[in-house]
C-alpha cells in the first residue's frame, strides 16, 4: 500500500464531496466502517490496493476508541498515512443541514442541532489535534474543496508543502491553520490616499509598507519561526505547515506579508498561497 488516507471531521463539513474526489483519484474508499474493524480490515485490503481511503466519523462508533485506532495507524503506517480533518464554523454547518434536510448523527442524543454540533466538536478535540491536515470548508464550495484536496494528495514528491493564507480578522479567523500571525499593529494602507482600493499585491502598497519602520525586521522574525517549525514538523514526519496572516480586512497588510513570505520559500518548499478575503 502506497497511500492511506483517513478522512474524518465534523458532520456537514464536506466528507461526501471529499470522498467522491478520492474515488475519482483512484482510491479504494470505505465509508462508515465500524471502528473496531478498521485495524483488522486494512492489512487484508492493502494486499491488493495501493491507495486506500477510510471515512471515520461519528457514525463509526466510540470516539475514544476511534482516537486510539488512529494513533495506532499513525505509528504503523508512518510513511503512507495522511489524517485529513474537515472542519467548519457552527453557523455554516447549521445552514448546510437546513439546506440538505439531513439529520445530524448526534441529533437523537442532543436536544437540538446546535447542541449536536457542539457535542460533536468537543468530542473530536483529540482527533483534531493528531490530524496531519485540517481544512476549514466554511468558505469553500465543492469545487474549491476538490482543488485543495488535489493539492494535498498529488504532492507525491517529498518537498515540504507550505500553505500561506492571508485573511481579515473581521471576517473570522481561519480554522485550518497551524499558526496565526497578526499584522494589524502596522499602519493600515486603507487610510492612505490612493491606496484604499489597492491590495498588498500592488507596487504602491508594497512600497508604503517596506518604508514603514519594523516591517523588514518582522518579516525576518516570521521566517525564523517558520524555519524552526518546518524543521520540527519534518522530524515528526509531517510534510505540511499552514500559516495564517491576518489584518483587519484582509486586503493590504496581510496580503503583502503573505506575498513576501511566499517568494522567500518558493525554492525550498512547495508553496500554496491563498488570499481568502481579497475581493
16 annotated among ligand-binding-site residues: yes
Q: How far apart are CA 172 and CA 167, in angstroms?
A: 8
Q: Which of 275, 247, 274, 257 is nearest to 191 (CA)?
A: 247
Report d(CA 138, CA 86) in Å as an integer. 10
Annotated binding-site residue? 13: yes
Count of all residues that appear for the chain in the document: 279
Q: Any binding-site annotation on 106?
A: no
> Does 102 carry a binding-site annotation?
no
Please report which residue ranges of the chain form alpha helices under DSSP H. 15-24, 38-45, 63-76, 90-100, 113-123, 125-130, 142-153, 203-210, 215-235, 253-265
The gap between the terminal CA atoms of the chain, to the nearest Å, is: 43
57 is known to lie in a ligand binding site: yes
Sequence-separated (6 or more) residues with CB below 8 Å from residue 83: 6, 8, 70, 74, 130, 131, 132, 133
Give the long-range contacts of residues 106-110, CB within 8 A, separation 24 or more: 106/11, 106/58
**90 is annotated as contributing to ligand binding:** no
Q: According to the annotation, is 58 in a ligand binding site?
A: yes
How far is residue 170's CA from residue 184's CA, in Å, rounded to a whole number? 11
**Is 246 known as a binding-site position?**
no
Q: Is 74 annotated as a binding residue?
A: no
The residue among 45, 128, 132 whose CA lies nearest residue 82 is: 132
12 assigned ligand-binding residue: yes
Known binding residue 131? Answer is no
Q: How far is CA 79 from the centre of its chain?
A: 20
216 annotated as belonging to a binding site for a ligand: no
For residues 188 and 168, is the Cβ–Cβ distance under 8 A?
A: no
| Sequence-separated (6 or more) residues with CB below 8 Å from residue 189 | 195, 196, 198, 200, 205, 208, 209, 252, 253
Binding-site residue set for ATP: 9-16
Binding residues: 9-16, 57-60
Query: What residues form the annotated binding site for GTP?
Result: 57-60
Amino acid at each position: 500500500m502506497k497511500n492511506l488516507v483517513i478522512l474524518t471531521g465534523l458532520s456537514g463539513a464536506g466528507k461526501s464531496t471529499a470522498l467522491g474526489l478520492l474515488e475519482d483519484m483512484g482510491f479504494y474508499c470505505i465509508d462508515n466502517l465500524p471502528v473496531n474493524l478498521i485495524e483488522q480490515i486494512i492489512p487484508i485490503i492493502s494486499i491488493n490496493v495501493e491507495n486506500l481511503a477510510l471515512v471515520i466519523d461519528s457514525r463509526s462508533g466510540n470516539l475514544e476508541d476511534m482516537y486510539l485506532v488512529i494513533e495506532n495507524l499513525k505509528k504503523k503506517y508512518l510513511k503512507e498515512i495522511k489524517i485529513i480533518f474537515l472542519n467548519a464554523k457552527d453557523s455554516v454547518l447549521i445552514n448546510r443541514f437546513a439546506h440538505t434536510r439531513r439529520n445530524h448523527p448526534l441529533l437523537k442524543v442532543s436536544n437540538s442541532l446546535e447542541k449536536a454540533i457542539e457535542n460533536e466538536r468537543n468530542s473530536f478535540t483529540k482527533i483534531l489535534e493528531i490530524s496531519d491536515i485540517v481544512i476549514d470548508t466554511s468558505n469553500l464550495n465543492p469545487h474549491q474543496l476538490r482543488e485543495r484536496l488535489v493539492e494535498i494528495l498529488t504532492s507525491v514528491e517529498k518537498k515540504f508543502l507550505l500553505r500561506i493564507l492571508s485573511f481579515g480578522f473581521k471576517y473570522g479567523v481561519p480554522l485550518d491553520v497551524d499558526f496565526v500571525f497578526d499584522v494589524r499593529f502596522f499602519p493600515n494602507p486603507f487610510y492612505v490616499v490612493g491606496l484604499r482600493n489597492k491590495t498588498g499585491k500592488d507596487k504602491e502598497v508594497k512600497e508604503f509598507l517596506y518604508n514603514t519602520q519594523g516591517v523588514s525586521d518582522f518579516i525576518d522574525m516570521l521566517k525564523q519561526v517558520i524555519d524552526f517549525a518546518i524543521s520540527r514538523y519534518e522530524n515528526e514526519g509531517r510534510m505540511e505547515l499552514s500559516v495564517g496572516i491576518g489584518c483587519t480586512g484582509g486586503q493590504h497588510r496581510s496580503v503583502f506579508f503573505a506575498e513576501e513570505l511566499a517568494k522567500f520559500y518558493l525554492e525550498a518548499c512547495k508553496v500554496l498561497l491563498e488570499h481568502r478575503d481579497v475581493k
